[in-house]
C-alpha cells in the first residue's frame, strides 16, 4: 500500500485451502504488477497443510487464518471485512496476473461511478 499515491487503493483478496505453493506463485505475480496502490489479503480456509509459509515468504500481505473452512463465499467475507480499498478484487489463488492488468480495471471504474463491477477476460489461442 502506498498512502501517498493519488490512485485509489485496491484490496486484492484470495482464498487458500491446501494450496500454499500455488498461492505463493500468485503472490509472486502480484509483486510484479505496475499498479502502485494495493493491499493483499489472503484468507487460509482452515487448511490441513501448514499454510504459514505464505505469510513467512510474503510478509507484506495480510494473512488471516480461519479456524474453520467457511467455503469460498465465507472465506472471501473474512477478507472483505479487513479490506480498506476503494475497490475490491476477488482473485482465485491459482491465478497469475500480467503486470498491467489492474490499471484498465481501475480506470474503467473511475470513469463511471454507476458501474458496480468490472472484469478482465483474456483468451489465449
Q: Is the pLDDT score of 123 beyond 90?
A: no
Q: How far apart are CA 84 and CA 72, in angstroms?
A: 20
Examine residue 120 and state whether it is found in any structural domain, yes or no: no
φ, ψ for residue 118 (rounded to 5)?
Answer: -135, 160
Mean pLDDT on 78-93: 97
Examine residue 118 and state whether it is found in any structural domain, yes or no: no
Residue 48: give the domain boundaries: 10-111
How many domains in the chain? 1
Nearest to 38 by CA among 73, 85, 71: 85
Q: What percent of the chain has pLDDT over 70?
A: 92
Q: What is the CATH number of the domain that holds 57?
A: 3.90.550.10
Q: How far apart are CA 82 and CA 29, in angstroms?
A: 22
DSSP code string of 53-116: HHHHH-TTSEEEE-SS--HHHHHHHHHHHH---SEEEE--TT----TTSHHHHHHHHHH-TT--
Mean pLDDT on 82-97: 96
Q: What percent of the chain has pLDDT over 90?
A: 86
Report pLDDT digits (tens) over 33-76. 999 999 999 999 999 999 999 999 999 999 999 999 999 999 99
Residue 116 near residue 87, CB atoms below 8 Å: no
Examine residue 77 and state whether it is found in any structural domain, yes or no: yes
Amino acid at each position: 500500500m502506498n498512502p501517498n499515491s493519488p490512485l485509489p487503493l485496491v484490496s486484492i483478496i484470495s482464498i487458500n485451502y491446501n494450496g500454499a505453493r500455488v498461492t505463493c506463485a500468485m503472490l509472486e505475480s502480484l509483486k510484479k504488477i505496475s499498479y502502485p496502490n494495493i493491499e493483499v489479503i489472503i484468507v487460509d480456509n482452515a487448511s490441513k497443510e501448514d499454510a504459514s509459509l505464505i505469510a513467512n515468504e510474503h510478509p507484506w500481505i495480510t494473512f488471516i487464518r480461519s479456524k474453520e473452512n467457511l467455503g469460498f463465499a465465507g472465506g472471501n467475507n473474512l477478507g472483505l471485512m479487513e479490506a480498506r480499498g476503494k475497490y475490491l478484487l476477488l482473485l482465485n489463488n491459482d491465478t497469475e496476473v500480467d503486470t498491467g492488468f489492474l490499471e484498465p480495471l481501475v480506470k474503467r471504474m473511475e470513469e463511471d461511478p454507476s458501474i458496480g463491477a468490472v472484469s478482465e477476460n483474456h483468451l489465449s489461442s
